[in-house]
Structure 1
Amino acid sequence: MAALRKWLFTGLLVIVPGVITAWVLAWFVGTLDVTLAILPEAWQPDRLLGFHVPGFGALLTLTILLVVGALASNFAGRKLVQWGDALVSRIPVVRSIYSSVKQVSDTLFSESGNAFRTAVLVQWPREGVWTVAFITGSPSGEVAAYLRDEYVSVYVPTTPNPTGGYFVLMRRSDCVELEMSIDAALKYIVSMGVVAPPDPLAGEAVRAVTP
């Protein structure tokens, strides 16, 4: 029985990562294939080829992103984007949603964006309980005027889905900055602590003994 149990868990360790990866890729490609609906029926790949080939939606999405990015990078494209932003900002309700989403996307995707600056260790949700979080910025405006001490904006992600979480303002002195990279911290969170980040002290020890 011990051998059977060992074989079972070994099989799970080998198969589960591949199955989950294939499932996520299939879901992602299937979602992007929906973009093919914008093409005329005569241009549909399934109609032209006579059978379905997954992945054409991903290629179409990538092409659209590249074309829009190229057009928006020149002077005329930037002016057109500014005109569109100004138009949307005059529409009630829509402008509040659009402005919020645009601010988040500008922070996450722009080359000068600074989302998830530093991985930190904070006490959450109560004193004595620690978790890994990310510094996303500093409070400003009315919030900064109310907070007398030096505070930072902190995002505390949930596990194993880091896209959900909590936004809190904490004293900088209450945040312990970590040397681990943002990618390593995210892996640590998603794996629920199973995939531990590398020990920086171990790396320094290896470099010290290397001639």
Structure 2
Amino acid sequence: MNQSFKAFRQIFLRGLFTFLPIAVTIYILYAGIVIMESMLGTTIQRFFPSLYVPGLGFLLTTVFIFMLGLLLNNLLTASFFGNLERQLMKVPFIKAIYSPLKDLMNLFSQKGSKDLKSVVLVEIGNGDIKALGLITRDNFSDLGLGNHFTDRVAVFIPFSYGLGGYTLLVHRSKITEIDMPAEKAMSLAITGWVKAGGKNEGEGHP
């Protein structure tokens, strides 16, 4: 009986560990589609109910996002949106919400990936413990802080199994650059260094 229970549990856990990543991925995609659908779909349903069909809100939101991207490629409209953004940033409440979200999106954008200088290991304490991080700034001269941070860099250390992280101003002698793409470093850090890729995933790195 005990052996049968162990076999049942092993099979169940194997199925669960296979099912959960698929289910969570589908749920996140579904939630994203629902949010995009509700952005314009609810408005169309309220004012033009005869025109609404399921999925129309998602389609129009996708078209709107694409058109916004086209407009931002134009120098004139990009300048207009830039001025609008600067005006919005003058409102304290809006700035507190918008600015962190904007910075987060820039971090994961193509431009943001280029802005990440390198992937590093940061020494914690006497150096026996190391944390994986991304250098987000290596020059502080534009902040008007004088020469206080000339020997330091800003390192973003993401949380494992969650969104967010924290940024440390680390002395240059406490970091070691490693040859790893930023995307792979983020994946390793967020998943707690669980080996989820191919056979050689993570090999050759501490």
Q: If the length of structure 2 is used for normalisation, what is the TM-score? A: 0.74
Q: Which amino acid aligns with 1:179?
A: D
Does the 8 Å CA contact 1:133/1:154 hold for their aligned counterparts? yes
Deviations 1:163-201 (A, max 9, x none): 311111112221121222222222212222212633259
Matches of 1:125 and 1:61, distance apart in 2? 49
Shift of 1:82: 3.9
Residue number in structure 1 paired with 2:148: 146
Supply the RMSD in Å over aligned alpha carbons. Answer: 3.3
Choose from 30, 37, 57 the match for 1:33: 37
Residue number in structure 2 paired with 1:8: 12
Shift of 1:105: 6.0
Q: Which amino acid aligns with 1:152?
A: V
Secondary structure of the residue that 2:52 maps to in structure 1? helix
Secondary structure of the residue that 2:66 maps to in structure 1? helix
Does the 8 Å CA contact 1:121/1:176 hold for their aligned counterparts? yes
Residue number in structure 2 paired with 1:205: none
User: Identity, % of aligned pairs?
Assistant: 21
Shift of 1:153: 0.9
In the alignment of these two chains, the number of paired residues is 193
Matches of 1:83 and 1:20, distance apart in 2? 39
Secondary structure of the residue that 2:134 maps to in structure 1? strand
- Residues 13 and 98 of structure 1, relative CA distance in 2, 3 Å threshold: closer
Residue number in structure 1 paired with 2:161: 160
Matches of 2:125 and 2:115, distance apart in 1? 22
Structure 1's unaligned 5+ residue stretches are 202-211
Q: Which amino acid aligns with 1:120?
A: V
Shift of 1:135: 0.8
Q: Which amino acid aligns with 2:157?
A: V
Matches of 2:86 and 2:16, distance apart in 1? 54
Matches of 2:172 and 2:60, distance apart in 1? 45
Shift of 1:110: 6.1
- Residues 127 and 41 of structure 1, relative CA distance in 2, 3 Å threshold: same
Residue number in structure 2 paired with 1:108: 107
Residue number in structure 2 paired with 1:70: 70
Shift of 1:126: 7.4
Residue number in structure 2 paired with 1:189: 189
Shift of 1:101: 4.6
Structure 2's unaligned 5+ residue stretches are none
Matches of 1:92 and 1:57, distance apart in 2? 30
Matches of 1:183 and 1:148, distance apart in 2? 27
Q: Which amino acid aligns with 1:104?
A: D
- Residues 83 and 180 of structure 1, relative CA distance in 2, 3 Å threshold: closer
Matches of 2:136 and 2:179, distance apart in 1? 16
Matches of 1:140 and 1:134, distance apart in 2? 16
Matches of 2:181 and 2:108, distance apart in 1? 18
